[in-house]
Structure 1
Amino acid sequence: MTDSAGRPVPHAPEPPHHGTTADGKRAATDDGPVVEEVSAATAALLHELAEAGVEADASARRRSEYAYDASNYRVAPLAVAFPRTVDDVVAAVAACRASGTAVIARGGGTSMAGNAVGPGLVLDFSRHMDRLLHIDEAAGTVDVEPGVVLATLSREVERATDGRRTFAPDPSSKNRATVGGAIGNDACGNHSVRYGRTSDHVAEIDLVTSDGARLTATGTGLRATDPADAFSVARAEDLTTSLARLAQKHLSALRLELGRIPRQVSGYHLENLLPEKKFNVARAVVGSEGTWAVVVGARMKLVPKPASALLVCLGYEDVVDAARDIPTILEFSPAAVEGTDEAIVATMRHRRGPDSVLGLPEGRAWLFVDLDGDDPASVQAQAERLLARLEENGRLVQGRPAADPSERASLWRVREDGAGLSSRLASGGESWPGWEDSAVAPEQLADYLADLRDLLTEHELTGVMYGHFGAGCMHIRITYDLRSEEGRAVFRKFTRRAAELVVRHGGSLSGEHGDGRARSELLPLMYSPEVMAAFAESRRLWDPAGILNPGSMTDPDPLDANLALAGVPDREWRTSFDLRPAASAGTDPWVHATQGCIGVGRCRADSGGVMCPSYRATRDEKDSTRGRARVLQDMVRGARTVEEGWRSEEVREALDLCLACKACSTDCPAGVDMATYKSEFFDHYYRGRLRPLAHFSLGWLPRWLKLTSRLSPVVNAVLATPLGKVAAALGGLTTKRALPRFAGAREWRREVADAGVRAAGGSADQDSVVLFVDTFTRGFRPEVAGAAARVLTDAGETVGCSADACCGLTWISTGQLGTAKRLLSKAAEALDDGTDRPIVVVEPSCAAALRKDLPELVHTEQAKRVAARVRSFATHLADRVAAGWEPSPARPLPEQAVLQTHCHEYSVFGAAAQRTVLEAAGVREVVDASGCCGVAGNFGFEAQHHDVSMQVAENALAPALRATDHDAAVLTDGFSCARQVDQLDPRRPGLHLAQLLDRRRTTTTTNDRHTKGTEELS
């Protein structure tokens, strides 16, 4: 058999259905596990890819990572390939065509409709094919590879054009979603009211078809990418003729049924082939979800960037009232009209603190209206006129401009994190996609939402609503029970009824995310048989081999097949951490915790927040919070891609580069806490197994410090000789990092005594705070204890001191939870003095362990009481500043400071405290090295992790040090952060906030403090 261009085409296999892969093995289904051992066919495919030089991986761990996207679905691939060039893509597609293997193109893997999963070979373009190639400002275009991230594209364009131009589409996932993915599902974004969809911004798209042609789709047709490629020239001519004939054949139906509303994304965009659209093949390709061809490059259009913008926030009683004001708001030509409801705001505040949402007016639902223009005064006047008109309408509760940049950023983050925040609500419920993307004409939105709420009530469901109100497109996450057969039946019934409802309102099943596995089955409810036939015919013309992204668009899988929450065994997983507060009824707490990741992929962002430092260093999905979570999810499924539960080698490998920084517990919109999961897993995995040496040398560090503190002169002398490196190597530690000097047993006692504080502590009647001197401070930085005591005294506190306990941090981080629980129990007993005095902890990681891990590992009321009293040193000082205290160091502080906030401080206590205190003390410029330092407790000292540790430092800390003057102070409250600064820039010691504010401040630090040789051994 040959195709229309004369090239032999293998027999097109039946599209894989209901979990069956192209080689006949079982994929993920409701009934059981996934693909079994690598088949002979898969082995042959991998061999062919290797012969062609294409990087590919069929390991069990890798297949688990890519079995999911951000949808409800799980389909394990046969393998994952990471093309570096277009030639790699051509070779991979040829290998799949020869064996009848499905091909699934994938960008950031953030699809909510299941577009980025499939049963064959996944091509991940985000790993290597992620370059911005050329900007032509005169033509207003930018040439890119498909894996470039949208936010990166916009940032680089603005930088190259001095802010004159930008790339407009800005979906909420823009800091991890890619151009190829945006083309695949016709992504829109927050400013689509002004700028439309991705299809409005495409000039040309470079493609590889399933029969091996390299074509370029343009605004007026189709051509061979390489004019010297005879096959591609012939294929372009033949496909052009066939597509034109298809458009002519279905002329009337395409004109009547397609392109009716701004957000009609469902189905193929065949209306762009009509004569009045000038046969715009490029726009027709957008939204084809990888079923027509594989995108390997694109020329995208740029737009002018407005000189001035103002966000106006509007509060309403509910989302229907908000929607009724949309026609009025649109009269003012806004750039964006976004909305959210109270459930998302409450969850943001619950998870990240009351200050995480700033500038929100009164109400229970809110609209964010972006007004822009060339002149700030005219934009302000426009905002005032808008508010006056809305007051006249009578529905507005309160409205206000958000002129402050921090308020603006806070409000946009609420909207942009909507998908993750709504998945695990402050109320304790959880919600899922499936009907999260419907769209109607903006003037129909209020009536549609009112009817949709009635439909939800009828099915005893709740919908968390947010989205693009100005474009009539709603994101609605719904409280389906996808774990039970009964709940899945409700899911199917409701989704069909909702599809019928949106069609009655003249709308589209999808307004942004595409149809994928979630809605393709329902397309016949929206389109006539003639249009559905045109869709199927167009797909056959483009993909004669029938291998591209099966299960979506035409001949789809059922919408309730391959659901990720189906088929999870009902098993009890015993854990040390108390995960019950996060668990839903009837679900094992460990299972529920690991299923918290819904795939939104914020952990893959290269800017903003701290999560995920290892992914930012390696750019490998396995090192993202999401990648690790997906492997854990397969573990609890009992999936045969990841076997053996707590003994799973794949899970251990996935967790290996997790720095246990805890940043995901704050930065992840869904609240995934991978540090806790890693600790729990390692505790089980290593039972009865020999642990790594570092788990003894570093994991038992507090025990060793009891010995070294008595022999510190001898230990330090030995470590200063070549024997020091030998000792480090024997302990599993890196020899590339200098070990810290050990303090004598009495040093910290002398320090606090010198500050006028008794080391044994004070009575409740005498002291207003308890200063907890942790193991790290006692053992390595005793001078910080004295400085902290003096600063607290200066802040008006009467200070008692406690050091008779250990938080167990090193045992927690290495997964030795039995010992950790015993130590934490003793700590709770020692610190529970019958008062509510704040316990101020010098070391942030120890403070975090006492605040968060203590009540989760020790399940007593005493543990909860103590944890509630714990403050980090910086947080307590920030509270004193808020109460009116003004820091007054004896000597002027440097005008500039580099702030390295410890990850545990950031995740448990927040990132603002140190900056608040520094600014109150008179530091004019605070350079925030926002990100993990890379040491992260034991991680950066372990031999196998040193190089990654230094890569992590390049995310933020190292560039901040290079960019600032050498006389700038470097704030490192965390001991591990100070060690990394010593490694990166020995000339600038890392200082604790207490040292900087101490009235007896010196530049003495741990490294240059020489332990007296005559110190009494005790």
Structure 2
Amino acid sequence: MTQDVLSAPERAPILARLEAAGVPAEISGHRIAEYSYDASNYRVPPLGVVFPRSVHDVVAVVTACRETGTPLIGRGGGTSMAGNAIGPGIVLDFSRHMNRILSVDEGAKTADVEAGVILSHLTREAEDATGGALTFAPDPSSKTRATIGGAIGNDACGNHSVRYGRTSDHVVEIDVVTSDGARLTATSTGLRATDPADAYSVSRAFDLGEDLKQLAGDNLAAFRTELGRIQRQVSGYHLANLLPENGLNVARALVGTEGTCALVVRARMKLVPKAPSALLVCLGYADVVDAAKDIETILEFSPAAVEGIDEAIVDTMRLRRGADSVLGLPEGKAFLYVDLDGENPEKVAREADRLLERLAANGRLVDGRAVPDLVQRATLWRVREDGAGLSSRPASGGESQAGWEDSAVAPENLAAYLADFRRLLEVHGLTGIMYGHFGAGCMHIRITYDLRCEDGRAVYRKFTQAAAELVVRHGGSLSGEHGDGRARSEFLPVMYSPAMIAAFETYRNLWDKAGIMNPGSITDPDPIDTNLALEGVPDREWRTHFELRPVEAAAAGADKWVHAVQACIGVGRCRSDAGGVMCPSFRATGDEKDSTRGRSRVLQDMVRGAGSIDEGWKSEDVREALDLCLACKACSNDCPAGVDMATYKSEFFSHYYDGKIRPLSHFSLGWLPRWLKLTTRISPIVNAVLSSPLAKVVAAAGGLTTKRAMPKFASRKMLRDALAGFGNNNGTGDTVLFVDSFTKGFRPEVAGAAARVIEGTGRQVSCESDACCGLTWISTGQLDTAKKMMAKTVAKLDDGTDAPIVVVEPSCAAALRKDAPELLGTEAAERVSHRIQSFAEAVKGWVAEGWQPPAVPESVTVQTHCHEYSTFGATVQRKALAALGVADVTEATGCCGVAGNFGFEANHYDISMKVAEQALAPALASTPESTPVLADGFSCAMQVRQLDPERKSLHLAELLDPQTTTHHTEGQS
């Protein structure tokens, strides 16, 4: 059973009331879809979404909802895995505007922040403001997109909770708005009105404070015996904080209430000292039970973190991102990360050695090592932090779900609990993929329920009941970090007595007299198998051009298009503003609509064919959601769930525009290889026009921006001269140089440089310059044409040899490597795909085989093309330069903003330039004139030119070209 959007007349009262109050709700189809999901198994469409800019906006929304009886749901980063960031009323998203860090007080060791502040932003700001002396401790894996309000709502913990505890251990004061409009501040000793001049709030604070004292007094025995039994007892309400011996700590009692009591708008949070020295010790075990048996020994060493993962997550990381995405891992099938820290690095290293000796003596450790290398440590932590996404579709196939991903026991009981839990999985025919906070006894376990079918949902319910009973038998908690939400609240009576459940209900009612705050969680919960997102998706075949691999991983009975767009599970890494490249448009706008997750949710509602989006391939809401997708493909590498939005966009556009008039840019840019056949014949005339006042007229006529400098078109003679003597199209070489349309049409000198470099390695070059990969047709969704072009090219390249095919333009290399086999589905396309190399990838291989490159500069700034980043590895350019001996590499880690046709389109220019400001523009600003700037991608080179017209970027081939090497190095000699 699932819930859908109310009809327009049913929504009218609240929408009208919000409009009158000056806080209108957004109700477009795509907006409703984006906020119908969080990172849980559930889908609950809201009535509308509001993005408050101030506390006054929040009060206005609360008033409107109270007067109309409309549910109200607070939301931060939307990363809840328990379903407590979605609901059937008005959703308030605090992350977009109410996200200011108001002050950092080093003396008081506190920070004053709004509810929408992202945890990692607060950590960074605190460390910067205190010279690294203080930091904000709670660091859940979602810290780069989760907010303070959300962390308070769930009582989030994180990797270092062994040392620093839960969010509730770090609150000083919390400012809230209650459903009756009171503005209250919860403190460690009670309640007060946030504004002393607000008479109603003053009265409300006094009355509520007295009621809370009475509640504690009436339940002294229950609060003392049932609550606070283990470190990670997050389930239910934290009412032990109201006891006299705890000083009526209302602030801590509010943490973990999941938005069911009041809306958090601001908070003062504690900061903690940051140890100057830290060392990661990585441990390998035969299985997770053996790992858990060593926890008590590890805790004797006072670690800052003890995290664990199993081999399924590691295998999936390597499958998705390559073998070198996981560095420094010891032997084993289950792994623990132990973070030791202190004042002195030598002392920390000695402690690491002593820990390894103790664990070896225990007899369970398979392999263990300290990991001092910062790069290796970063890759290892990323595997752990991406655990939820990686385990959702593991390398072994199939898919796993949340639902029982957050149980906790005392650390000394963890091994016995896991052994019993594995037996429970076997009884129900399920597999669990395990990771989590082993040092705190908190396990995140994604399980292979089949929530698409009735039998699978019955197993889900039966198993969850049994799992709840099991964890309680081991003295544990249903939730150790994520909260109860829709996933576990129904089973709180398994954990707590009827008297405690009644106390929870009383506590909630004291705060929320109107009964509108986040219904369905904790008290009076929805059944755990209601509103499941995978239920109710019609059994329909969606015909696609792409194969949407891996087909073998699709769930039984799921159409491949449905399965593909359902890859997103909502972890929201695409909402991060640092690390990786995804998602450049969200980083530019801050709008959920422009995140990979937001687009995925709209596509997921599209395949449901119900609710707000029911037009299938012709949906205008889907088109709008995809409009600002740059098709950079970064998500296919950076998204832990493996979402490839560029492919989904291309597929959707191919159907959406079938029978419709396409944008002019789809012809001017989408057909560019065809136009280039003409321009190479008349390039002087074309260049003259583009240098005249007519240039803007021509650009506008083609749907292009008039703000961007256009490239000079090359002539046929220029290409012939560049490739003179290199066996063009004769097939006699042992290395094929594929000269793409962009290189032929705009920078044929790069082809000549590439040919000379290949020749310099001792190889014989055969040039293929009369074929096209079809990329521009792919990016504009003209897939019938793309397949025809690609099939012709594959036929030319599939020459019966296994000679490597080195492609000058990285985006074309990516198209031939990845898109060709997925579009054509032929053995020939597979054969060609395996032979394709980007130029940087080829260079790395040549050096490894013994080639001695010419002299290279000491320093280089590089903009890696997003398609190369996603298809050939995120570090391909950096590794090639390191192999060449470049000592200092500055990498503009982010999309350049042009992304093929995107940055040239009139309606996308402004976003394109905002994207450039994220990484490329700062990198150029910090690059001396004497330092070469590498931009192998033609679109990247155009953006460099746009940002700095006086600077000429180079292709890696030009940097290594024997004819120009001296020129490039003499400025740094």
Q: TM-score, normalising length from structure 1? A: 0.94
Deviations for 1:939-962, whole angstroms, at most 9, x for unmatched residues? 000000000000110111111111
Which residue of structure 2 lines up, in the alignment, with residue 479 of structure 1? 448
Residue 113 of structure 1 is aligned with which of 78, 82, 96? 82
The correspondence for 2:701, drawn from 721, 730, 753, is: 730
> Counterparts of 1:653-692 in structure 2 under 5 Å?
653-692=624-663
Give the structure 2 partner of residue 149 of structure 1. Answer: 118
Q: Confirm or deny that 1:362 pairs with 2:325.
A: no
Aligned to 2:161: 192
Shift of 1:584: 2.5
- Partner of residue 4, structure 1: none
Aligned partner of 1:70 in structure 2 is 39
Give the counterpart of 2:670 among 682, 699, 709: 699
Q: Report the CA distance between 1:45 and its aligned residue.
A: 2.3
Equivalence for 1:464: 433
Aligned to 1:375: 344
- Return closer, same or farther for 1:729/1:234 CA change in 2, 3 Å cut-off: same
Aligned with 1:871 (options 837, 847, 858): 837
1:422 aligns with 2:385: no
- In the alignment, the residues of structure 1 paired with residue 879 and residue 113 of structure 2 have an alpha-carbon distance, to the nearest angstrom, of 41
Q: Which of 393, 411, 415 matches 1:442?
A: 411
Give the deviation of 1:268 after TM superposition. 0.2
Query: Which residue type is aligned with residue 956 of structure 1?
Result: A
- Cα distance per residue 1:565-598 (max 9 Å; x no partner): 0000000000000123442221100000000000
Q: Which amino acid in the other structure matches residue 939 of structure 2?
A: S
Q: Show the 5 A alignment for 1:774-793.
A: 774-793=740-759
Aligned counterpart for 2:786 among listed residues 817, 820, 834: 820
Q: Would you say the 8 A contact 2:847–2:884 is kept in 1?
A: no
Q: Which amino acid aligns with 2:164?
A: Y
1:34, distance to aligned residue in structure 2 (A): 1.8
- Contact 1:69 / 1:109 at 8 angstroms: preserved in 2? yes
Aligned to 1:160: 129
- Which range is displaced more, 792-801 or 213-222? 792-801
Per-residue CA shift, 1:400-423, capped at 9, x if unaligned? 001100110011011000000000
- SS of residue paired to 2:368: strand
Q: State yes or no: 1:917 paired with 2:880.
A: yes
Task: Quote how far apart the aligned CAs of 1:471 are.
Answer: 0.2
Q: Deviations over 1:639-692 (max 9, x none)?
A: 221111001110000000000000000100000000000000000000000000
Q: Give the number of equivalent residue pairs.
A: 966
Residue of structure 2 aligned with 1:213, choices 182, 195, 207: 182
Structure 1 residues 490-515: Cα deviation after superposition (integer angstroms, max 9, x where no partner): 00000000000000000000000000
| Distance across 1 between alignment mates of 2:552 and 2:730 | 35
The answer to whether the aligner puts 1:600 opposite 2:571 as a matched pair is yes
1:499 aligned onto 2:474:
no
CA drift of 1:759 comes to: 1.6
Match of 2:936 among 973, 977, 988: 973
* CA deviation vs aligned residue, 1:181-209 (integer Å, no higher than 9, x gap): 00000000000000000000000000000
- Alignment deviations for residues 344-374 of structure 1 (CA, whole Å, 9 cap, x no partner): 0000000000000000000000000000000
For the pair 1:998 / 2:961, whether they are aligned, the reply is: yes
Shift in Å at residue 455 of structure 1?
0.3
Match of 1:881 among 847, 852, 858: 847
Q: Which residue of 2 aligns with 1:521?
A: 490
1:8 corresponds in structure 2 to none
Question: Match for residue 131 of structure 1?
Answer: 100
Residue matched to 1:38: 8
Give the C-alpha shift of residue 50 in structure 1: 2.9
Q: Which residue of 786, 794, 798 corresponds with 2:760? A: 794
- Superposed CA deviations along residues 893-915 of structure 1, whole A, max 9, x for unmatched, are 2x332210000000000132322
Taking a change above 3 Å as real, the CA distance of residues 132 and 761 of structure 1, as seen in their structure-2 partners, is farther
Counterpart residue identity of residue 375, structure 2? S
Q: Is the 8 A contact 1:36 1:641 kept in 2?
A: no
> Is residue 218–residue 280 contact of structure 1 (8 Å, CA) maintained in 2?
yes
Unaligned runs of 5+ in 2: 969-973
Aligned ranges for residues 391-402 of structure 1 at < 5 Å? 391-402=360-371
1:984 aligns with 2:955: no
Please point out which of 919, 922, 927 is paired with 1:956.
919
- For residue 556 of structure 1, give the secondary structure of its aligned residue in structure 2: coil
Q: CA-to-partner distance for each residue in 1:10-57, whole Å, 9 max, x for gaps?
A: xxxxxxxxxxxxxxxxxxx44xx7214423x53332333233332520
Rounded Cα–Cα distance in structure 2 between residues aligned with 1:732 and 1:715:
17
Offset of 1:76 from its aligned partner? 0.1
Contact kept, 8 Å, 2:32 with 2:45, in 1: the verdict is yes
Q: How much does 1:988 deviate?
A: 1.1
Deviation of the 1:1002 alpha carbon: 7.8
% identity of equivalent residues: 71
Match of 1:640 in 2: 611
Quote how far apart the aligned CAs of 1:724 are. Answer: 1.2
Bigger drift between 989-998 and 111-120 goes to 989-998
CA distance in 1, matches of 2:730, 2:130: 61
Deviation of the 1:760 alpha carbon: 2.1
Ranges in structure 1 where 5+ consecutive residues have no aligned partner: 1-28, 1006-1018
Taking the aligned partners of 2:15 and 2:55, their CA distance within structure 1 comes to 18
Pairwise CA distance, 1:970? 1.0
The answer to whether 1:934 aligns with 2:900 is no
Aligned equivalent of 2:457: 488
Map of 2:296 onto structure 1? 327
- For the 8 Å contact 1:582–1:593, the answer to whether it is kept is no
Distance 1:282 1:899 in 2: 49
The residue matched to 2:111 in structure 1 has which SS? strand
Aligned to 2:971: none
Q: What is the aligned counterpart of 1:590 among 545, 556, 561?
A: 561
**Aligned equivalents of 1:670, 1:584: Cα separation in 2:** 15
Q: Describe how 1:49-60 pairs up with structure 2 within 5 A.
A: 49-60=18-29
Q: Which runs of 4+ in 1 moved over 6 A?
A: 1002-1005
Q: Could you say if the C-alpha distance between residues 790 and 515 of structure 1 is closer, same or farther in structure 2, counting changes exceeding 3 Å?
A: same
Query: 2:811·2:867 contact (CA, 8 Å) conserved in 1?
Result: yes
Q: Deviations over 1:260-304 (max 9, x none)?
A: 000000000000000111111000000000001000000000000
Q: Superposition RMSD on alpha carbons, in Å?
A: 1.2
Q: What amino acid does structure 2 have at the position aligned with 1:35?
A: V
Residue 305 (structure 1) shift: 0.4
Q: Tell me, in whole angstroms, the C-alpha distance in 2 between the residues paired with 1:801 and 1:768.
A: 11
Quote the residue 1:289 is aligned against: 258
AA aligned opposite 1:945: H
Deviations 1:834-856 (A, max 9, x none): 11111000000000000000000
The equivalent residue for 1:844 is 810
In the alignment, the residues of structure 2 paired with residue 634 and residue 298 of structure 1 have an alpha-carbon distance, to the nearest angstrom, of 35
1:809-829: per-residue Cα shift (whole Å, max 9, x none)? Answer: 000000000000001110110
Name the residue aligned to 1:804: 770
**Deviation (angstroms), 1:804:** 2.2
Q: What amino acid maps onto 1:670 in structure 2?
A: A
Q: Residues 336 and 470 of structure 1 are in contact (CA less than 8 Å); yes or no, is this contact kept in structure 2?
A: yes
Letter in 2 for 1:606: D
Equivalent residue of 2:723, what SS?
helix
